Amino acid sequence: MLPRLASASLTALLRPASNSGGLSRTLAVAAAQMAGGTGGDTSAGLLHFCVVGSGPAGFYTADKLLKRFGADARVDVVEALPTPFGLVRSGVAPDHADTKNVINQFTALATDSRLAFLGNVRVGRDIGLPELRAHYNAVVLCYGAESDRRLGVPGEELPGVLSAREFVWWYNGHPEYRDLPIDLSSTRSVAIAGLGNVAVDCARILLKAADDVAATDICSHAVEQLRASAVKEVHLLGRRGPVQAAFTPKELRELLGLKGVKVVMDPGAFQLSPECEAEMKATRMKKRMFELLSKVLAEPRQGERSLHIHFLRTPVAVVEQEGRASGVKVEKTRLEAAAQPGGASRALGTGEYETVPADLVLKSIGFKSVGIPGVAFDERAGVVPNLLGQVYAEGDSSFDPGLYVCGWLKRGPSGIIGTNLVDAEQTVDTMLRTRDSFPAVQSPQPGSAGLKVLLEQRGVQAVSFQGWQRVDAAEVQRGQAQGKPREKITDVQEMLQLAAGAA
Ligand SMILES: Cc1cc2nc3c(=O)[nH]c(=O)nc-3n(C[C@H](O)[C@H](O)[C@H](O)COP(=O)(O)OP(=O)(O)OC[C@H]3O[C@@H](n4cnc5c(N)ncnc54)[C@H](O)[C@@H]3O)c2cc1C
């Protein structure tokens, strides 16, 4: 029998410094029993899991947890917004409706009686991570990336400079970005730094005829702006050449084929060094993209609007006029072949500069995750340090028992929706392998039961999945009246009113 423990030593038992398996688990279970909590042991009862974030990583993790841990598993998905689905709702382009079909799969999962959704609960604001963990045997952090990589050039903070994330969250109705100061009626030229698919999405939305996007789930405030838009030119800026661009052929083909848009590129960028030629020929996708771009270069067409793809140009400053952005000063670059075969070539400055006109500058060089108190965070890499999803303890090389990570927060902001499925499999495999290290639940009421009490005491209205479905129904109804699949509600208070009282 264990001696009575002071709370500090109890906590130490519940959070052993290393992934030491059997002994720590036995002690943790015993300590929790003394404290009236639930042990992390299926024979002693249920296993309570919390998934933080309801994007693809969150839902795929919840799915795998329910499948792999079976009937004894209970999964609560805690989400900062009243709405689920992360970037499937706030990132994926409105004119790519089919990509959002995965929402049907996540919705079916949410009807499983072993899963509870608690929207409008931000971990780190409404509840601290240590408090949350006290209710669960294991917590999986899937809270994505809510910040941006910086360009690190003078003028980056000027009015008229936004990140692509902010712009995308604006047209997709993220509640915190719906009031972004964007005035397309006085914007003639837009520069977008970056040559990835997010940059392509932004360029396409800006260049496409407003009527062609109006019937999608894009927010009506964005449609109004697109209808009044004065945008005539969009400039994509990339440090490296057409072989190294990060966009993918399907997205590129769609952009290059936009009606009424002429494409302008410097033929010089298509004269490949032998190393670039080899790099291009080594991958089918790169070869396909090079062919697509070369074809457009060889067959110029006219259009009212123009898309300029500037390869081999790196932004060095945002140019200011009357207190706001008026252009981007770029340095021409040349490519230095990688030292190792198969390595990435480097863009080196040539000392030659030019200025690209831009009333609006979008930085599309990558999203970035942010840390929350109570978990180790690698600021440089922008990820929670982990091994196959198991989180390292803060300032330590041992693991933090019962804490796991998945999605963009685990591996950085890259990969498509499906990548998170594979990632969730890996994290849940690790959880199965390390289940003996799960700490006991410290709260007298484990899982969502205890969490809801705490949230109610704090005046936080948690939105259930049924609550979200009321919001969803209202959005669809409003959309139908406007001939679109939904009109997103972007006001949190309005969503909370609609969701109030749902089971
Ligand atoms: C603009 C854009 C377009 C894209 N288009 C496509 C596409 O067409 N096809 C495709 O396959 N992939 C696309 N992707 C990639 C895809 O969206 C990502 O791979 C995927 O969303 C990452 O999943 P995640 O769960 O890690 O993060 P997210 O989807 O970002 O989910 C994170 C969730 O955590 C929540 N959260 C954040 N902080 C907290 C907190 N403190 N407490 C509680 N909850 C929190 C957020 O609100 C969010 O709901 C696109 C990405 C972007 C940015």
DSSP string spanning 26-95? HHHHHHHHHHT-B-S-GGGSPEEEEEE--SHHHHHHHHHHHHHHGGGEEEEEE-SSSS-STHHHHTS-TT
**Ligand 1 atom at minimal distance to the Cα of residue 410:** 26
Q: Is any ligand 1 atom within 6 A of the Cβ of residue 56? A: yes
pLDDT tens digits, 94-148: 999 999 999 999 999 999 999 999 999 999 999 999 999 999 999 999 999 999 9
Q: Is 201 in the pocket of ligand 1 (CB under 6 A)?
A: yes
| DSSP classification of residue 439 | P
Show the tokens assigned to 434: 């390390």
Residue 345: what pLDDT? 85
Ligand 1 mean position to 56 CA, how many Å? 7
pLDDT for res 344? 79
Atom of ligand 1 nearest to the CA of 418: 11
**Closest residue to atom 27 of ligand 1, CA basis:** 144
- Reported as a pLDDT band with limits 50, 70 and 90, residue 201 is very high
Ligand 1 neighbour 87 (Cβ under 6 A): yes
Three-state helix/strand/coil letters over 114-173: CEEEEECCCECCCECHHHHHCCCCEEEECCCCCEECCCCCCCCCCCCEEEHHHHHHHHCC
Tokens of 88: 């499937």
Residues 228-241 have a mean pLDDT of: 98
Task: Tell whether ligand 1 has an atom less than 6 A from the beta carbon of residue 360.
Answer: no
CA of 417 to the centre of ligand 1 (A): 8
Q: What is residue 30's predicted lDDT score, i.e. its pLDDT?
A: 38
Quick one: pLDDT band at residue 334, thresholds 50, 70, 90?
very high
Candidate of 59, 87, 248 to mutate for ligand 1, largest count of ligand atoms within 8 Å of Cβ:
87
Contact 55, 410 (CB under 8 A): no
3-state secondary structure 408-430: HHHHCCCCCCCHHHHHHHHHHHH
For ligand 1, is residue 407 a contact (CB within 6 Å)?
yes
Res. 19: pLDDT tops 50: no
Please name the residue that has the structure tokens 């890499």. 381
Distance 90 CA to ligand 1 centre (A): 8
Q: Which of 45, 49, 48, 79 is nearest to 61 (CA)?
A: 49
**Is the distance from CB of 444 to CB of 450 less than 8 angstroms?**
yes
Instruction: Name the residue with higher pLDDT: 42 or 8.
Output: 42
Output the CA 230–ligand 1 centroid distance in Å.
Answer: 31
pLDDT (average), residues 279-288: 92
pLDDT at 456: 97
Asked if residue 148 has its Cβ within 6 Å of ligand 1, the reply is: no
Residue 354 falls in which region: left (phi positive, over 0), alpha (psi -120 to 50) or beta = beta
Distance, in Å, from the CA atom of 228 to the CA atom of 313, rounded to the nearest integer, reads 31
Q: What is the pLDDT of residues 183-197, one digit of tens each?
A: 999 999 999 999 999
Nearest CA to ligand 1 atom 12: 416
Nearest to 237 by CA among 343, 353, 143, 108: 353
CA distance 406 to 390: 9
Out of 417, 422, 490, 495, mutate this one to test ligand 1's pocket (max ligand atoms within 8 Å of CB): namely 417
The residue to mutate among 85, 92, 205, having the most atoms of ligand 1 within 8 angstroms of its beta carbon, is: 92
Percentage of residues in the chain with pLDDT exceeding 90?
87
Whether 417 is in the pocket of ligand 1, judged by its Cβ within 6 Å, is yes
Mean pLDDT score, 343-351: 90
Q: Helix, strand, coil: what percent of the chain each, to 5? A: 40, 20, 40
Atom of ligand 1 nearest to the CA of 58: 25
Question: What separation in Å is there between the alpha carbon of 57 and the centre of ligand 1?
Answer: 8
- Residue 144 CB–ligand 1 contact under 6 Å: yes
The pLDDT of residue 151 is above 60 = yes
Å from CA of 94 to ligand 1 middle: 15
Average pLDDT on 340-345 reads: 76
- Which whole number is the average pLDDT over 262-268? 97
441 lines ligand 1 (CB under 6 A): no
The atom of ligand 1 lying closest to the CA of 164 is 1
The proportion of the chain whose per-residue pLDDT surpasses 70, expressed as a percent, equals 91
pLDDT band at 221, cuts 50/70/90?
very high
Atom of ligand 1 nearest to the CA of 409: 26
> Does the C-beta of 96 come closer than 6 Å to ligand 1?
yes
Average pLDDT taken over every residue of the chain: 91
Contact at 8 Å (CB) between 256 and 296? yes
Q: Please say if the pLDDT value at position 8 is more than 60.
A: no
Query: pLDDT digit string (tens) for 453-477?
Result: 999 999 999 999 999 999 999 999 9
Euclidean distance between CA atoms 126 and 129, whole angstroms:
10
The pLDDT of residue 499 is above 50:
yes
Can you tell me the distance from the alpha carbon of 169 to that of 163, in angstroms, rounded to the nearest whole number? 10
Distance 467 CA to ligand 1 centre (A): 21
Say if residues 164 and 204 touch (Cβ distance below 8 Å).
no
Q: What is the mean pLDDT of residues 220-234?
A: 98
Cα–Cα distance measured from residue 117 to residue 428, given in angstroms and rounded to the nearest whole number: 19
Q: For the residues of 207-263, what is the DSSP string, one character each?
A: HS-HHHHHTSS--HHHHHHHHT----EEEEE-SS-TTT----HHHHHHHHT-TTEEE
**Helix and strand numbers, DSSP H then E, in the chain:** 18, 18
Q: Please tell me if the CB atom of residue 194 comes closer than 6 angstroms to any atom of ligand 1.
A: no
Is the CB–ligand 1 distance for residue 46 below 6 Å? no
Q: How many CB atoms lie within 10 A of CB 361?
A: 29
Q: How far apart are CA 138 and CA 144, in angstroms?
A: 18
Measured in Å, residue 107 CA sits from the centre of ligand 1 at: 16
Is the alpha carbon torsion for 459, 462, 468, 469 positive or negative? Answer: negative
Q: Is the CB of 422 under 6 A from ligand 1?
A: no
182-186 long-range contacts, CB within 8 A, separation 24+: 182/225, 182/360, 183/225, 184/225, 184/226, 184/228, 184/229, 184/230, 184/231, 184/360, 185/225, 185/228, 185/229, 185/230, 186/230, 186/359
Please tell me the distance between residue 58's alpha carbon and the centre of ligand 1 in angstroms.
9
Reported confidence tier of residue 397, pLDDT bands at 50, 70, 90: confident
Report residue 6's pLDDT band, with 50, 70 and 90 as the boundaries.
Answer: very low
For residue 443, count other CB atoms closer than 10 A to its CB.
Answer: 23
Q: Is 124's C-beta closer than 6 angstroms to any atom of ligand 1? A: yes
Residue 32 has pLDDT above 90, yes or no: no
Q: Which one has a higher pLDDT value, 43 or 163?
A: 163
- The pLDDT of residue 39 is 44
pLDDT for res 339? 77
CB of 420 closer than 6 angstroms to any ligand 1 atom: yes
Is there an atom of ligand 1 within 6 Å of 364 CB? no
Rounded CA gap, 212 and 226, in Å? Answer: 11
Distance CA 59, CA 89 (A): 13
Q: Which atom of ligand 1 is nearest to the CA of 81?
A: 47
As a whole number of Å, the CA-based R_g of the chain is: 25
pLDDT digits (tens, 9 = 90+) for 42-96: 335 899 999 999 999 999 999 999 999 999 999 999 999 999 999 999 999 999 9
